[in-house]
Chains A and B, each alone.
Chain A
Amino acid sequence: MNQTIDSSQLTIILADDDVGHRLLIKRNLRRSNITNEVLEFGDGESLIKFLMNCKEDPAQKGRRFLVMLDIRMPRMDGTRALAIIKQDPELKRIPIIMLTTTEDPQEIERCHDLGCNSYVKKPIDHEQFINAIRQLGLYLSIVAVPNLK
Chain B
Amino acid sequence: MDAQYHDDLSGQHAWTHFIDNLTSFLIFCVIGLIILRYFRRLTDRDNVWGGYSLSGFIFLCGVSHLAESLVLLWPSALLFRILDVLTISSGFLTIILFIPMLPQLLRIPTIGELENEIRRRKDIETRLRDNKETLRSAFAHAPIGMSLVSTDGKWMRVNQQVCQIVDYPEDELLQMTFQQITHPQDLNSDMDLLKACLSGERDSYTMEKRYIRKDGSIVPIQLFVSLVRDAAGKPRFFVSQIKDISQDKALQQQQRKLIGELQQKTDELQQIVYVASHDLRSPLVNIIGFSDELKHCCHSLKKATESGDADVIEPIIREEIPPILEFITSSAKRMDQLLNGLLLYSRMGRYPILLEPIDMNELMQGLSNEFSIQLKKIEGQFVVEHLPPCHGDATLVNQLMLNLIDNAIKYRSPERSLSLRVSGATGKGFIRYTLADNGIGIAPDHQTDIFDIFNQINPAESTGEGLGLSICSLIVNKLGGRIYVESVAGEGAAFHIEIPDAERFPDILKSEQATGNSLFSRVK
Contacts and interface: CB of A to CB of B under 8 A. Distances in A.
Closest 3 CB pairs of A and B: A20-B286, A24-B289, A101-B281
Interface in B262-286: 274, 277-278, 281-286
Interface string A12-47: 000001111101100100010000000000100000
A31 B292 CA distance: 13
A21 B456 contact: no
Given A74-B457, A74-B459, A20 B290 contact: yes
A123 interface: yes
Contacts of B293: 24, 27
Contacts of A27: 293
A17 B331 contact: no
A20 B457 CA distance: 19
Contact of A74 (B289, B327, B458): B458
A125 interface: yes
Among A21, A24, A75, A125, the one with the most B-chain Cβ atoms within 10 Å of its Cβ is A24
Nearest to A24: B289
Among A17, A75, A101, A102, the one with the most B-chain Cβ atoms within 10 Å of its Cβ is A101
Interface in A75-93: 75
Contacts of B460: 17, 19, 42
A20 B277 contact: no
A45 to B, nearest CB: 11
Given A20-B286, A21-B285, A24-B286, A126 B292 contact: yes
Nearest to B279: A72
A18 B277 contact: no
Given A20-B331, A24-B293, A74 B286 contact: no
Contacts of B290: 20, 24
B42 interface: no
Interface of A: 17-21, 23-24, 27, 31, 42, 72, 74-75, 101-102, 104, 122-126
B288 interface: yes
Contacts of B456: 74
Given A21-B285, A102-B281, 9 more contacts: A20-B283, A31-B296, A42-B460, A72-B282, A74-B456, A102-B278, A104-B274, A124-B289, A125-B288
B277 A102 contact: yes
Nearest to A104: B274
Contacts of B459: 17, 74
B289 A20 contact: yes
13 contacts: A17-B459, A18-B282, A18-B285, A20-B331, A21-B285, A23-B327, A24-B286, A24-B290, A72-B278, A72-B282, A102-B274, A102-B277, A124-B289
Interface residues of B, number: 22
A75 B455 CA distance: 10
A18 B288 CA distance: 14
Contacts of A74: 456-459
A135 to B, nearest CB: 20
A78 B520 CA distance: 38
Task: Give the dominant DSSP class at B's interface.
Answer: helix
A123 B327 contact: no
B282 A101 contact: yes
Among B327, B456, B458, the one with the most A-chain Cβ atoms within 10 Å of its Cβ is B327
B494 to A, nearest CB: 24
Nearest to B326: A20
A21 B289 CA distance: 8
A18 B286 contact: yes
Nearest to B320: A27
Contact of A123 (B274, B277, B289): B289
A126 B292 CA distance: 8
Interface in B41-89: none
Nearest to B330: A20
B285 A101 contact: yes
Contacts of B277: 102
Among B282, B293, B459, the one with the most A-chain Cβ atoms within 10 Å of its Cβ is B282
B163 to A, nearest CB: 57
Nearest to A71: B278
Given A23-B327, A102-B278, A123 B457 contact: no
Interface in B365-379: none
B292 A101 contact: no
Nearest to B281: A101
B280 to A, nearest CB: 9
Nearest to A75: B457
Given A42-B460, A74-B458, A102-B277, A21 B282 contact: yes
Given A27-B293, A74-B456, A74-B459, A21 B278 contact: no
B288 A123 contact: yes
Contacts of A42: 460
A129 to B, nearest CB: 10
A141 to B, nearest CB: 28
Nearest to B446: A75
A101 B278 contact: yes
Contacts of A102: 274, 277-278, 281
Contacts of B285: 18, 20-21, 24, 101, 122-123
Contacts of B281: 101-102, 122
A7 to B, nearest CB: 29
Nearest to A19: B460
A31 B293 CA distance: 11
B106 to A, nearest CB: 100
Contacts of A124: 289
Contacts of A20: 283, 285-286, 289-290, 327, 331
A31 B289 CA distance: 14
A24 B294 CA distance: 12
